Structure 1
Amino acid sequence: MVLALPEEVFGVADPGNTAWMLAAAGLVLLMTPGLAFFYGGLSRGKSVLNMMMMSFGSLAAISVVYVLWGFSMSFSDGITGNDDIAGIFANPFSLFGSDQLSATMGEDKVVTAGLTIPAFVFLGFQLTFAVITVALISGALAERVKFSTWIVFTVIWSTVVYFPLAHMVWGGLVGGGGIMGGGENGFAAWMFGTTDGKANVAPIDFAGGTVVHINAGVAALVLALIVGSRAGFGRTAYRPHNIPFVMLGAALLWFGWFGFNAGSELAADNTAGLVWVNTTAATAAATIGWLAVEKIRDKHATSVGAASGIVAGLVAITPACGALTPVGSLILGVIAGVLSALAIGLKNKFGYDDSLDVVGVHLVAGLWGTIGVGLLAKDVGLFWGGDYKQLVVQIVIAAFALVFTGVLTAVIAFALKPLGWRISTEDEHNGIDEAEHAETAYEPA
């Protein structure tokens, strides 16, 4: 069926913006292999392949389901004109398989008059966000989870948690709705009213503080608690087996993050340039902040600390990168580095095995970045604009994401227990690479 929509909802694709967004999508796609190196290097030598396979498995599984129903669940109401479901998700069958995009819109038409890129380019860009979000969670489960159960989890979790949250926050990008967005039916509109159908104080999540990092961080914490700790947790020293891998992964993540953040402007313009600068400033400041904590606390500034500080800064600036000045970004970044460096010790204090510090980095820095917008955003932040309303909105969307993701992830985790989450203690001791993949990364000398 070819969907009949009025011509005025479409614009004409801009070649320059289209080229930039194709490049940005490629950059974000590279982040998942980069994450594989980052996580793989942090793991022990007998589990590095499994750790990397969890990222590559996510890349494969989520790419398939996003094309089939993920894009439709996230954005189809703005394209087809169908209503969404209570502002939570769009109809997964409206654009199932995405085959109707060209038939509906024509090859040269964009999603709405507000965007200047073709629908398939927007789909490809958003697909890469879904992939990296799911892959991030795997860092909390290192060395102990069945690969088959992980793949099943990625499909269910993306469908039940990620696609709805993406719709709730970003659905309005293509003319749809979403209760966490800036439309007339969202939280912000209920709190502070609307003007011309838009919230007077719209939530700010430029590139995924709630959708990606709070989302992945909460899921990682819930899974770490339900799946349980590694067999030797608290007694074994889990040391990174390849720090150059960690540094390479951090470099690839930083490089790809320019597509992640600057690409989220969906155009090659001045705002994209500001986002590029803000991303660099915050990341550099966070690295310095993390290393300063290490130097004061441990008397050494480490390579792993530098790589982790890079990621903490990238995470924190993600929701805020389009709303801050460069100076505000430096402030946001250095605080993110300090907070995350301190937060990674929480797992030892509270006894949960967040193996590769997804909670300490992504959840903590993601929360700080999302809430920090309300303090530091130019003109509307409490410190930069003297208004409390933006801060209130940011706290509300962060809190909602915490509860929404936490509860649903717990339900999914318990539902998958009959499949079996854990490998055997013997296999865990001998190495998950051999047990799950019949391979080893390094042959004995």
Structure 2
Amino acid sequence: MGKKINFIALAILVVISIAFGSNYPELTSSIDKGDTAWMLVSSAFVLLMTPGLSFFYGGMVNKKNVLSTMLQSFVALGVISVLWVVVGFSLAFGDSIGGIIGNPLTYLNFKDVGLEPNPDYSGTIPFLLYALFQLKFAIITPALITGSFAGRVRFRSYIFFMVLFSIFIYAPLAHMTWHPEGLFRNWGVLDFAGGTVVHMSAGFAALAGAIYLGKRKEVIEEHANIPYVLFGTGLLWFGWFGFNAGSALGANGDAVIAFANTNIASATAMITWLFYERMLGRKMSTVGACIGAVVGLVAITPAAGFVNISQSMFIGFIAALISNWMIYLKNRSAIDDTLDVFPSHGVGGIVGMILTGVLANEVGLVYGETDTFLYHMIALVITAIFTFGGSWVLFKVVDRSLTMRVREDQEERGLDLSQHGEQVN
């Protein structure tokens, strides 16, 4: 019966899409070809990050859960793409309702999202391209969460959670931060490419999920495929240039600054992680180098277009030390965040947002300005409470509807076999 209901719901969604869809009008005004070309490339770069994340996560789990972990990231490409077109983009960027959320009817099914630029967002690229660029951010955010409960969540329950999270957590945060009338934006909060919207939201949702679902029955620390982790990190680093430099919304100086800062922050965090581990008497591991690089990418994201090269090195250095320390504390606690999503993405995003308020050009604390820093701290607290508390509620809703956690025998067999009937040889 449940399978029939799922299929009928999908069929209704397709019918609605056909009924309310609209053709693209002919382009009547000029667009900047250079900006458009760069944003097309950037959108493709950011899309590649989600498959990269699937390799990054898939290589770090045990061999019983490689495919299920990878698919949890990859399936977001399908689920969120459809949801974004139907209502997600409208909730995030539609006409503002109190600076908190967009009107779901404004761009329902991409109505009026065409080839003409929208000057409220970018006056040089098609509005459709802007919507598709933002889609890639919406895709990877719930995928990031999956690392915290890898190996113990039912697949269809995760999909349901992903839909609810995108509607009730991600869309309001994106609206408050990036919409011209958004609450955080009007406060002067600076988030160049998603430190709050993507990484803090995913990090705190991951923490809520790890606590709610509880510890794994069997904790296996052995990584299934370390070359996968290395390959996934490379794809993430490559895609992050589109993530950050693309957020300049054009082929311009801000894109160059963000591109340079992204690379140097990640490089600094990686080598900081390695040498800090060695200082503590541990081996300089491949996995450690990869985690350090990703932490640097996370931390520079909110500041990418607002700081200089030296400051980006400082951000990468500080983020690596703090995240490394947080992983150590997490490992001594009862929280089973399988792949350290909160210490890496949540804490990395927090460090990035705080240091953006400290270092941002002309408006940061180091320039004698206090307003930006204070509003960053307020936004940080609101985001933490909203994303953790809201995600906890969503986990309970899904759990009561479908049951979130797999049975003990299914967890013991591994999710590859119990959820998908497949396994890695």
Structure 1 length as normaliser, TM-score?
0.87
- Give the drift of 1:114: 4.9
Q: What is the 5 A alignment of 1:153-302?
A: 153-172=161-180, 177-182=181-186, 188=187, 202-232=188-218, 236-302=219-285
Contact (CA 8 Å) 1:319, 1:370: kept in 2 or not? yes
Q: RMSD value over aligned CA atoms? A: 1.7
Q: 1:2 to 1:414 in 2, by over 3 A?
A: closer
What is the aligned counterpart of 2:65 among 47, 67, 81? 47
Whole-Å separation in 2 of the counterparts to 1:379 and 1:139: 37
Q: Deviations over 1:239-275 (max 9, x none)?
A: 2111000000000000000000000000100111011
1:356 alignment partner in structure 2: 339
Aligned partner of 1:15 in structure 2 is 33
Gapped runs of 5+ residues in structure 1? 4-9, 78-83, 183-187, 189-201
Distance 1:231 1:330, change over 3 A: same
Q: Within 5 Å, which residues of 2 pair with 1:386-425? A: 386-418=368-400, 419-425=402-408
Q: 1:362 to 1:11 in 2, by over 3 A?
A: farther
Residue 310 (structure 1) aligned with residue 293 (structure 2): yes
Name the structure 2 match of 1:193. none
The count of corresponding residues between Structure 1 and Structure 2 is 400
Aligned residues of 2:201 and 2:384 also touching (Cα < 8 A)? yes
d(CA) in 1 for partners of 2:381, 2:97: 21
Distance, in Å, in 2 between the alignment partners of 1:300 and 1:41 is: 19
What is the CA-CA distance between 1:108 and the residue it aligns to? 4.0
Question: Structure 1 residues 11, 239: CA separation in 2 closer, same or farther (over 3 Å shift)?
Answer: farther
Structure 1: 4+ residue segments shifted above 4 A: none
1:33 and 2:51 are equivalent in the alignment: yes
Pairing 1:433–2:416 present? yes
Letter in 1 for 2:112: Q
| Separation in structure 1 between the aligned mates of residue 261 and residue 55 of structure 2, nearest angstrom | 25
Q: State the secondary structure of the residue aligned to 2:87.
A: helix
Structure 1 residues 100, 221: CA separation in 2 closer, same or farther (over 3 Å shift)? same
SS in 2 for 1:307: helix
Q: Shift in Å at residue 369 of structure 1? A: 0.2
SS of 1:101's partner is coil
- The structure in which a higher percent of residues are helix is 2
Q: Identity of paired residues, percent?
A: 42
Matched, 1:98 2:110: yes
| 2:85 maps to 1:67 | yes
Instruction: Give the structure-2-normalised TM-score.
Output: 0.91
**CA-CA distance at 1:314 after TM superposition:** 0.2
Any unmatched runs of 5+ in structure 2?
A: 1-19, 23-27
Distance 1:85-1:99 versus aligned 2 partners, 3 A rule = closer
Give the aligned partner of residue 89 of structure 1: 101
Instruction: Give me the whole-angstrom Cα distance separating, in 2, the residues matched to 1:156 and 1:242.
Output: 32
Contact 1:219 1:406 in 2 (8 A): yes
Contact preservation (8 Å) 1:11, 1:110: no
Distance 1:62 1:2, change over 3 A: closer
